[in-house]
Amino acid sequence: MVYFILSRIARAVITVALVVTFAFVVLRLSGDPALMIMGPEAPPEVLAAFRSAWGLDLPIWQQYFSYFGAIAQGELGRSMRDGRPAIELVLERIPSTLALTLPALAMKVGIGLPAGIYAALHRGGPIDRLVMTLAVAGFTVPSFVLGLVLVLVFSVMLGWLPSGGQDSWRHAILPVLTLGIGGAAILARFTRSAMLEVLGQPYMRTALAKGVPWHVAIRSHALPNAAIPTVTIIGFMVGTLIAGAVVVESVFSWPGVGRLLVVAVANRDLAVVQCILLLVAATMVASNLLVDFLYGYLDPRLRTGARAGAH
């Protein structure tokens, strides 16, 4: 178990280090980082201060390590637009984004999980067919098309809900629905296939053959086993709490991290872009780590080191 946890933590650290390396390499390839981050109009003494803070006057391998140091200290440069630290700009947008993505996550899990389990248990029934049809639609309708359809119906035609902005809780309904519907369909389809796989396993037949009632077999054999692949996809959804609304925030003019990213990319405000990239990577890696620990809890094979067939 200790080995398992340590190896997962090591992998997470390596992943973050590689993402930082990616940012470092890309930033070097694209030109003078001091100019790129601080902007072309920055006064020379600011550029010089930035260069020495980031160690840009040092050999490249020393630069690489001081880049890590600067990032560890939260020194991520300043926004070109108003000169404020990029990290501040990003952090103050996070509550807005979470106001969309947290309810959407609740909706995905609250609808997708039971729908998937029910569909698998009543395979071929009307609910199953509905879930499968919606799941295919959920895959193929991009969020911006779904979002615009919702605006067209509920804002333009019916006039029930606002089409954009962040003035009241009613403004959050359409974006949350847009994020939630597609995710719920994906989760339902995933849960359904995990359940179907488990239901076909020999141990289910054994349990039923030795007289275990159906609902007990489902509760104590099928659900825990089906939980393992399902946790992966939910973990992925948790990981996208910050980055998952880039497109939807733009559809609904919602001032969150995603909107900030789009504006920053359009203006080539690199400090902000870099800051969001690193923050998103850190969130994803943290949630992956969490999922790995949950695996260890859910799947005893991982704890004892008998890892064959666990993945």
- Site residues for other proteins, 30-89, by CB under 8 A, read 30, 36
Q: Which helix (H) or strand (E) holds 90?
A: helix 86-107
Subset of residues 187 to 206 that bind other proteins, contact rule: CB under 8 A? 189-190, 192-193, 196-197, 199-200
Minimum CB distance to other proteins smaller for 152 or for 300: 152
Minimum CB distance to other proteins smaller for 45 or for 82: 82
Cβ atoms of residues 115 and 130 within 8 Å: no
Cβ atoms of residues 127 and 202 within 8 Å: no
Minimum CB distance to other proteins smaller for 207 or for 246: 246
Give the HSE-up count for residue 144: Cα atoms under 13 Å, Cβ half-sphere.
6
Among 98, 141, 173, 228, binds other proteins (CB under 8 A): 141
Q: How many chain residues bind other proteins (CB under 8 A)? A: 73
Q: How far apart, in whole angstroms, are the C-alpha atoms of residue 7 and residue 13?
A: 10
Minimum CB distance to other proteins smaller for 25 or for 304: 25
From residue 271, alpha-carbon distances to 63, 82, 88, 214 in Å are 17, 12, 11, 57
Cβ atoms of residues 291 and 228 within 8 Å: no
Question: Of the ranges 56-64, 66-74, 165-173, 182-190, which one interacts with other proteins (CB under 8 A)?
Answer: 182-190
Among 107, 109, 186, 238, binds other proteins (CB under 8 A): 186
Minimum gap (Å) between residue 277 Cβ and other proteins: 5
Rg from Cα positions in the chain: 24
Cβ atoms of residues 184 and 108 within 8 Å: yes
Q: How far apart, in whole angstroms, are the C-alpha atoms of residue 154 and residue 55?
A: 54
From residue 11, alpha-carbon distances to 3, 192, 289 in Å are 12, 30, 9
Among 26, 91, 127, 216, binds other proteins (CB under 8 A): 26
Question: Of the ranges 39-47, 62-70, 141-149, 293-301, which one interacts with other proteins (CB under 8 A)?
Answer: 141-149
Subset of residues 235 to 274 that bind other proteins, contact rule: CB under 8 A? 236, 240, 243-248, 250-251, 261-262, 264-266, 268-270, 273-274
Residue 130 found at the interface with other proteins (CB under 8 A): no
